[in-house]
């Protein structure tokens, strides 16, 4: 699969490199030399007699650096279609040539691979990598493609770059069905690693959930999907429970009870999070209808069940509802629960989406708490032809759920309510909430820093700045965390200290600044330094321009 992506989407290293029809070289470093058929006791199997004589003459003993790279590691690379150019035993690595960008994520996921670093093109472009940052390809770096905006809007890619992709976290998805989730390419990785750890249909009392509605398929895809160059979910390494609690053909209060049963199942099965992209207000039997006054956090069955799940230590994330452009206009149950995260929707430009249900709750609490992209959300296509844009707070909620799982993975010692609090405090309008977006769009870089303070840890310098892509072509994004209000000067300098570009940005208070930088095309390729000066503090990152 070769990429031909418009320049606007070339925001990460792999998409950037593979935008051209070219071959690129990478160094694949291995974690060890385990399971090696060679032994230092039998050196003549991998060293010549002449080499041994020279060593003996100089009293040089053999050590592990002399052992060849484990042959099965190389064999597995080749079986994946990777062309191995040469191998170095001293550095326990192989240089490979790639034309297919989708192989990068596959290589990085191998348990014996320590890291993958860009090493040049086959066309002869020479860049001195000797003093660039090591591990330019971070283990968490993935190919977001069209799904980049919905993740970058919340700075979720920063968590992924730190290696937090939801591993060890279990997410229960309560929905109407998961058509073809066991077959679609978007879930091939999920199924191959047995990432679906439990399923149940509460209407059929069966484990099969794959033959009903497709709503849950779309919801799951924005958390767990993986189509390199097109779609990456917000928690691609998490495990999932798929629970059918909604009967799509009808609407009755039994569905709220089924939801409660699903939440209990999730609790028993050890879920850390529940994603609920369901909302209840009107029913086929109008006598069951909920009035706005009932959305007080304590009345409806499903709302009480959501708070009970939260009391058991589960972080419940619920869509706020799609009533914004209808007569009712308000949030639906269970998003009125007081111990959960209700998620409203914004359009790709990060502005309120008119269909998103508005707050407050009937008892005057801020609702929704936060908002995420809910219009034109890239989701897995049911015909296996890539992605399809879907609208609704149903898609905004799982975007948040997945990133909340990644955040919790980083701080498993924190409670569900502490994770909830950090996400809310990180949001874009935390000090001025409204009825449309609540506290605003969360920033998971900032939420990470808030969690660090909760654990008593100081914010580490390496977590202050994030630059992506790195290497870059003519543009990049940078995130800078600041503990308070500040005027910040950003400089791009060369190795001599000469300033090539200068920018002025301001922070109104604690939080993460996200800025899009463009560098003139006349700046040649090479190594540069991006520095952020805030008050008396200067933080610098090394960057590479291709």
Q: How confident is the model at residue 261 (pLDDT cuts 50, 70, 90)?
A: confident
End-to-end CA distance of the chain: 22
Which of 148 and 545 is assigned the larger pLDDT? 148
Residue 341's nearest CA partner among 307, 375, 292, 312 is 307
pLDDT in tens, 89-119: 767 878 788 877 678 888 989 999 998 887 6
For the range 269-272, what are the long-range contacts, defined as Cβ-Cβ under 8 Å and sequence gap of 24 or more?
Answer: 269/170, 269/172, 269/197, 269/198, 269/241, 270/170, 271/170, 271/171, 271/172, 271/241, 271/314, 272/169, 272/170, 272/171, 272/313, 272/314, 272/315, 272/405, 272/408, 272/416
Q: What is the pLDDT of residue 363?
A: 96
What is the helix (H) or strand (E) element at residue 273, kind and residue range? strand 273-276
- Is the distance from CB of 447 to CB of 415 less than 8 angstroms? no
**Sign (positive or negative) of CA dihedral 267, 269, 271, 276:** negative
pLDDT at residue 105, rounded to an integer: 84
Cis peptide before 368 (omega within 30 of 0): yes
| CA distance linking residue 154 with residue 169, whole number of Å | 20
Integer Cα distance of 277 and 343 in angstroms: 10
Rounded to 10 deg, the angle between the 416-425 and 444-454 helix axes is 130
Q: Please give the helix or strand (H or E) that residue 266 lies within, else none.
A: helix 254-268
Show the tokens assigned to 71.
Answer: 């042959």
Three-state SS sequence of 316-375: EEEECCCCCCCCCCECCECCCCCCCEEEEEECCCCCECCCCCECCCCCCCCCCCEEEECC
- Tell me how far apart the alpha carbons of residues 519 and 412 are, in angstroms, rounded to a whole number: 39
Q: Which residues pair with 515 in a beta bridge?
A: 478
Report the predicted TM-score, pTM, of the whole model to 2 decimal places.
Answer: 0.67
Mean pLDDT over residues 20-44, rounded?
A: 84
Which tokens hold the place of 503? 């920018």
User: Three-state DSSP class for 317?
Assistant: strand
Q: Alpha helices of 49-187 — where are they, by DSSP H?
A: 49-58, 71-79, 102-108, 148-152, 156-161
Neighbours of 502 (CB within 10 A): 10
**Stretch (H or E) spanning 526:** strand 526-534
The confidence score (pLDDT) of residue 124 equals: 36
User: Of 301-315, 382-396, 490-504, which gets the smallest average pLDDT?
Assistant: 490-504
HEC secondary structure over 459-494: CCHHHCEEEECCCECCEEEEEEEECCCEEEEEEEEC
pLDDT at 237: 96
Please, are residues 358 and 329 in contact by the beta-carbon 8 Å criterion? yes
Instruction: Tell me the sheet residues that pair with 354.
Output: none
Rounded to whole angstroms, the maximal C-alpha distance in the chain is 96
- Residue 4, pLDDT > 50, answer no
Q: Mean pLDDT, to the nearest integer, of 239-258?
A: 89
Lookup: tokens for 266: 């999730």
| List of residues 6+ apart from 42 with CB closer than 8 A | none
CA atoms of 85 and 65, how far apart (whole Å): 20
Phi/psi of residue 342, each to 5°? -95, 135
- Can you point out the beta strands (E) in 54-128? 83-88, 93-98, 113-121
Peptide bond into 469 cis (omega under 30): yes
Relative to beta strand 486-493, strand 387-390 is unpaired
Predicted confidence at residue 16, as pLDDT, reads 45
Rounded to the nearest 10 degrees, the angle between the axes of helix 393-410 and helix 215-224 is: 30
CB-based contact 532:539 (threshold 8 Å): yes
Please report which confidence band the pLDDT of residue 460 belongs to, taking 50, 70 and 90 as the band edges: low
Cα-based distances in Å from 133 to 10, 19, 43, 130, 265? 21, 23, 35, 9, 46
Average pLDDT over residues 373-402: 96
Residue scoring higher pLDDT (170 or 250)? 170
**94 pairs with which residues across the strands?**
28, 87
Q: Is the predicted pLDDT of residue 182 greater than 90, yes or no?
A: yes
Report d(CA 503, CA 170) in Å as an integer: 42
pLDDT band of residue 498 (cuts 50, 70, 90) is: confident
Task: Confirm if 377 and 402 have CB atoms less than 8 A apart.
Answer: no
Average pLDDT over residues 441-469: 79
Mean pLDDT of the residues in the chain: 85
Q: What is the pLDDT of residue 54?
A: 61
41 vs 531, higher pLDDT? 41
In what helix (H) or strand (E) does residue 370 lie, and over which residues does it extend?
Answer: strand 370-373
Contact 387, 266 (CB under 8 A): no
In this prediction, residue 122 carries a pLDDT of 42
- β-pair partners for 173: 242, 275
Count of H-run helices and E-run strands, the chain: 13, 22
Separation between Cα atoms, residue 135 and residue 155, nearest integer Å? 21
Express each pLDDT in 42-92 by its tens digit.
Answer: 989 887 786 687 668 668 788 888 898 899 999 999 998 898 887 777 678
The Cα 380–Cα 227 span in angstroms is 8
State how far the Cα of 481 lies from the Cα of 488, in Å rounded to an integer: 11
What is the CB neighbour count within 10 angstroms for residue 280? 24
pLDDT digits (tens, 9 = 90+) for 432-441: 999 999 999 9
What residues contact 256, with CB distance under 8 A and at least 6 apart?
280, 300, 301, 302, 305, 333
**Range with the poorest average pLDDT among 100-104, 182-186, 206-210, 400-404:** 100-104
């Amino acid at each position: 699969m070769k990429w031909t992506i418009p320049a606007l989407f070339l925001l990460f290293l792999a998409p950037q490199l593979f935008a051209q029809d070219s071959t690129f070289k990478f160094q694949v470093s291995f974690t060890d030399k385990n399971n090696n058929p060679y032994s230092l006791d039998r050196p003549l199997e991998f060293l010549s007699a002449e080499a041994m004589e020279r060593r003996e003459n100089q009293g040089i003993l053999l050590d592990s650096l002399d052992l060849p790279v484990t042959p099965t590691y190389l064999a597995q690379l080749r079986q994946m279609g990777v062309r191995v150019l040469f191998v170095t035993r001293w550095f326990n690595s192989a240089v490979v040539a790639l034309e297919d960008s989708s192989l990068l994520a596959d290589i990085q996921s191998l348990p014996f691979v320590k890291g993958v670093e860009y090493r040049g093109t086959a066309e002869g472009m020479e860049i001195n990598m000797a003093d660039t940052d090591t591990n330019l390809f971070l283990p968490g770096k993935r190919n977001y493609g069209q799904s980049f905006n919905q993740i970058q809007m919340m700075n979720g890619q920063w968590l992924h770059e730190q290696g937090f992709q939801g591993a060890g976290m279990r997410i229960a998805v309560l929905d109407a069905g998961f058509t073809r989730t066991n077959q679609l390419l978007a879930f091939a990785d999920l199924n191959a690693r047995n990432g679906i750890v439990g399923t149940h249909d509460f209407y059929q009392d069966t484990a099969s959930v794959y033959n009903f509605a497709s709503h849950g398929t779309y919801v799951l895809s924005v958390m767990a999907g993986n189509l390199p160059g097109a779609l990456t979910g917000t928690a691609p390494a998490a495990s999932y429970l798929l629970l059918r609690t909604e009967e799509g053909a009808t609407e009755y209060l039994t569905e709220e009870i089924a939801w409660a049963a699903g939440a209990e199942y999730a609790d028993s099965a050890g879920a850390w999070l529940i994603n609920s992209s369901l909302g209840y207000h009107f029913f086929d039997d109008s006598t069951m209808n909920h009035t706005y006054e009932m959305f007080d956090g304590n009345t409806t069955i499903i709302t009480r069940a959501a708070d009970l799940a939260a009391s058991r230590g589960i972080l419940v994330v619920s869509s706020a509802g799609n009533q914004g452009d209808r007569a009712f206009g308000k949030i639906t149950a269970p998003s009125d629960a007081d111990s959960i995260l209700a998620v409203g929707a914004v359009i790709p430009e990060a502005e309120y989406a008119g269909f998103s249900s508005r707050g407050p709750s009937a008892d005057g609490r801020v609702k929704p708490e936060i908002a995420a992209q809910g219009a034109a959300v890239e989701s897995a296509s049911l015909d296996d032809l890539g992605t399809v844009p879907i609208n609704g707070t149903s898609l905004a909620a799982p975007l948040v759920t997945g990133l909340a799982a990644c955040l919790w993975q980083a701080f498993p010692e924190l409670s569900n309510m502490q994770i909830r609090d950090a996400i809310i405090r990180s949001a874009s309008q935390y000090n001025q909430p409204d009825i449309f977006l609540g506290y605003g769009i969360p920033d998971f870089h900032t939420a990470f820093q808030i969690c660090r303070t909760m654990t008593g840890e100081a914010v580490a310098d390496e977590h202050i700045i994030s630059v992506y892509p790195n290497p870059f072509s003519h543009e990049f994004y940078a995130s800078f965390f600041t503990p308070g209000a500040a005027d910040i000067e950003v400089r791009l300098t060369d190795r001599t200290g000469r300033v090539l570009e200068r920018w002025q940005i301001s922070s109104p208070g604690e939080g993460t600044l996200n800025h899009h930088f463009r560098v003139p095309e006349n700046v040649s390729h090479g190594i540069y330094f991006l520095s952020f000066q805030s008050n008396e503090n200067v933080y610098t990152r090394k960057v590479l321009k291709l």
